[in-house]
């Protein structure tokens, strides 16, 4: 068996979070076993996708579900579904949007680099509002005959903007579906069904983050007709989603990961995070000139906001190195420790730390500061 070591690749200690760049999350043994078993047999993929979707929808208490090849692919399929529904002519021409609704309304204060996934399907993003929020009339007047959907990026949602329930009301009064990108918004587990119950038409999650499924999976939940439309534009059909393939192994891996996730003891998980945060804070605070504190950051882009984190700062007496330089020292060190950086402090996220790794993280930061 060829390992990472054989390829000269270093495993890392992930104190950054469920970030795709460092592999998202680790799959439990039961998920890995399910994928190995799935790889021993042939199945008809559309039948498997349909059966997996029904199983998940029943588990979550939502109308329908579809497993995509990651959350970004889920956003592209959601855009294609809202633009083309189950029209074979439109399916065959996307991303060419001639003679079909092609506009997706996006809120300026929620824009981010991930919404490019909508444009992959051919959608044109119509930006409304301003950096401090949006008013009802701006959404109402932006919806036209060309509007295929309204996009709500949960990661960057601001309370000062239009509340989601009001967005749904305005859009639905005009027969326009609402798409919510909630890729990394777990925990809490209730988010898996909360938005569908609120009336959101399509909600997208990552399968390889807190759910700890295969990194190359995502989940779309919502209206049955639109979920069917997502499948209509997806692999193995010759459509804009043809290259967004989810293998039988990934499908079964995700189903088993979600099943395990729904049975998880979230209180115990939160306790472990709090214990790890407390250890790192206590350990680093013992160094004169180093300031470590437990925080619940709620800034835009922090996913999700329910996880305690550690912010670390220091005086020039400790080291003249900047936070980015200390981050790079940690990355280049042995073991390799990956942390986040925000403004003028390090950010340590315990979400993907294994038990005991908080001790290694604290020790490596101490060495880097020295």
Name the percent of the chain lying above pLDDT 70: 96
Q: What domains can you pick out in the chain, each with its CATH number?
A: 4-20+265-369 (3.90.1150.180), 42-262 (3.40.640.10)
How confident is the model over 353-367, as a mean pLDDT?
97
- Count CB neighbours of 167 within 10 A: 24
pLDDT score at 184: 92
Reported as half-sphere exposure (CB side, CA atoms, 13 A), residue 8 has a value of: 0
In whole angstroms, give the CA distance from residue 152 to residue 76: 14
User: Are the C-beta atoms of 65 and 294 separated by less than 8 Å?
Assistant: no
Q: For residue 299, name the pLDDT band (cuts at 50, 70, 90).
A: low
User: Are the C-beta atoms of 162 and 140 separated by less than 8 Å?
Assistant: no
Q: How far is CA 44 from CA 33, 80, 248, 309, in A?
A: 21, 23, 9, 44
pLDDT score at 150: 98
Indicate if the pLDDT at residue 192 is higher than 70: yes
Reported as half-sphere exposure (CB side, CA atoms, 13 A), residue 330 has a value of: 28
* pLDDT tens digits for range 56-99: 999 999 999 999 999 999 999 999 999 999 999 999 999 999 98
């Amino acid at each position: 068996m060829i390992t990472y070591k054989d390829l000269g690749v270093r495993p890392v200690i992930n104190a950054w979070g469920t970030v795709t760049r460092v592999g998202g999350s680790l799959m439990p043994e039961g998920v890995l076993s399910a994928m190995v078993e799935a790889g021993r047999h042939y199945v008809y993929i559309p039948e498997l996708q349909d059966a997996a979707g029904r199983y998940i929808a029943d588990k979550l208490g939502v109308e329908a579900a579809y497993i995509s090849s990651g959350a970004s692919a889920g956003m592209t399929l959601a855009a294609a579904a809202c633009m083309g529904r189950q029209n074979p002519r439109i399916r065959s021409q996307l991303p060419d949007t001639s003679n079909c609704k092609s506009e997706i309304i996006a809120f300026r204060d929620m824009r981010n680099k991930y919404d490019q996934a909508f444009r992959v399907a051919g959608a044109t993003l119509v930006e409304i509002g301003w950096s401090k929020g949006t008013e009802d009339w701006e959404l109402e007047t932006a919806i036209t005959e060309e509007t295929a959907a309204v996009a709500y990026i949960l990661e960057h949602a601001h309370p000062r903007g239009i509340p989601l329930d009001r967005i749904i009301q305005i859009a639905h009064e005009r027969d326009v579906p609402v798409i919510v990108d909630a890729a990394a918004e777990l925990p809490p587990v209730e988010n898996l069904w909360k938005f569908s119950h609120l009336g959101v038409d399509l909600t997208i999650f990552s399968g390889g983050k807190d759910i700890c499924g295969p990194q190359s999976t995502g989940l779309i939940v919502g209206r049955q007709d639109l979920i069917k439309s997502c499948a209509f534009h997806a692999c193995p059909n010759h459509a804009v989603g043809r290259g967004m393939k989810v293998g039988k192994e990934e499908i079964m891996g995700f189903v088993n990961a979600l099943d395990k996730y729904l049975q998880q003891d979230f209180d115990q998980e939160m306790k472990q995070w709090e214990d790890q945060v407390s250890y790192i804070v206590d350990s680093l605070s013992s160094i004169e000139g180093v300031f470590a504190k437990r925080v619940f950051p709620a800034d835009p882009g922090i996913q999700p906001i329910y996880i305690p984190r550690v912010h670390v700062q220091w005086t020039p007496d400790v080291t003249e190195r900047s936070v980015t330089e200390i981050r790079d020292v940690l990355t280049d060190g042995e073991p390799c420790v990956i942390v986040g950086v925000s403004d003028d402090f390090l950010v340590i996220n315990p979400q993907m730390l294994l038990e005991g790794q908080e001790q290694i993280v604290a020790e490596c930061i101490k060495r880097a500061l020295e």
